[in-house]
Amino acid sequence: MIPAQFDYLTPKTIDEAVALLAEHPDDAKILAGGHSLIPAMKLRLATPQILIDIGRINDLSYIREEGGQIRIGAMTTHYNLEASDRLREICPLLPECAAQIGDVQVRNKGTIGGSIAHSDPAGDWPAAVIALGAEMVAVSAAGERVIKADDFFVDMLTTALDPGEILREIRISTPTGRFGHSYMKVPQPASGFAVVGVAVNLARDQNGACQSASIGITGVASKAYRASEVEKALVGSALDEQAIASASAHATDGVSVNGDLYASDAYRRHLAQVYTRRAVEAAASRAKG
């Protein structure tokens, strides 16, 4: 289908984009990689009257290290993150997650900011940024504010961003100590989106026991969530087979699990438990060094 008619604006700076958004709070939408918004417009599920394309703003695509943090510009593509040797060294969850998104074309055009701002219940990045305890930097005519990943994803396709806000940057504390990461997913065979996706960020103490565990799960519910009960069960454990298996049984505790034509709620719950176990095992073995 062909989208409804719209005006197309191309700000050159973030200030210009913010001013345009403030001028048209009800009719405008930000356009990033377009790989979620344009399909929705073609199906007329979204009919914005104005598109503000932030793709021509130069300083929105970057991966920087600053003050003990990794800072990622919102327009950084999935491919930029997948291809970063430095990230593979200091925060491997990011390239591992990026590499599992869609196909080459999607990864070359889609952006981390667009994916996070979209909050697709089967999107991969929300699980990863929850596991990494990321902070989202939002900018509007009123200034800048920082929103924690745990507070950012409100519901299906709904985030804590206000209508006049643009997601500018994602900040992640650079992992330290004996940490291990893993992202594992069951992709929907037609789209590549996560039927279940599990992101794990854990660390061992000097005796090898689990010092911290942070786990984000996507694909299972109306939004990505933190698997708090799994985390609680893992911390202090020896991260052996038995401890990981019994902790992973809590992967969907307190969550209303989605079912659809491809995967029933019972099957998704089962997959969430199995993939949590596998992802924790992988992260635990990487945290040995």
Q: Give min distance, CB of 82 to ligand FAD, in A.
A: 12
User: Which region among 5-13, 64-72, 191-199, 279-287 touches ligand FAD (by CB under 6 A)?
Assistant: 191-199
233 or 271, CB closer to ligand FAD? Answer: 271
Q: How far is the CB of 177 from ligand FAD (least distance, A)?
A: 29
**Least distance to ligand FAD, CB of residue 247, Å:** 26
Instruction: Please state whether beta strands 194-204 and 153-155 pair in parallel, antiparallel, or not at all (unpaired).
Output: unpaired
Asked whether position 73 contacts ligand FAD by CB under 6 A, the answer is no
Residue in 9, 14, 18, 31 binding ligand FAD, rule: CB under 6 A: 31
Residue 110 interacts with ligand FAD (CB under 6 A)? yes
183 interacts with ligand FAD by CB under 6 A: no
Residue 36 touches ligand FAD, criterion: CB under 6 A: yes
Q: Is 101 an interacting residue with respect to ligand FAD (CB under 6 A)?
A: yes
DSSP at 190: T
- For residues 94-123, one letter each, b for 16 or more C-beta atoms within 10 angstroms of the residue's C-beta and e for the rest, the string is bbbbbebbbeeebbebbbbbbbbbbbbbbb
Which residue in 76, 80, 84, 115 binds ligand FAD (CB under 6 A)?
115
137 Cβ neighbours under 8 A, 6+ residues apart: 144, 145, 146, 167, 168, 169, 170, 171
Distance CA 195, CA 106 (A): 18
At CA 196, angle to CA 118 and CA 167, rounded to 5?
20
**Strand 194-204 and strand 178-187: pairing?**
antiparallel
Task: With CA atoms as reference, report the closest residue to 135 among 123, 145, 143.
Answer: 145
Positions that interact with ligand FAD (CB under 6 A): 29-37, 39, 74, 101-102, 106, 110-111, 113-115, 117-118, 120, 123-125, 161, 166-167, 191-193
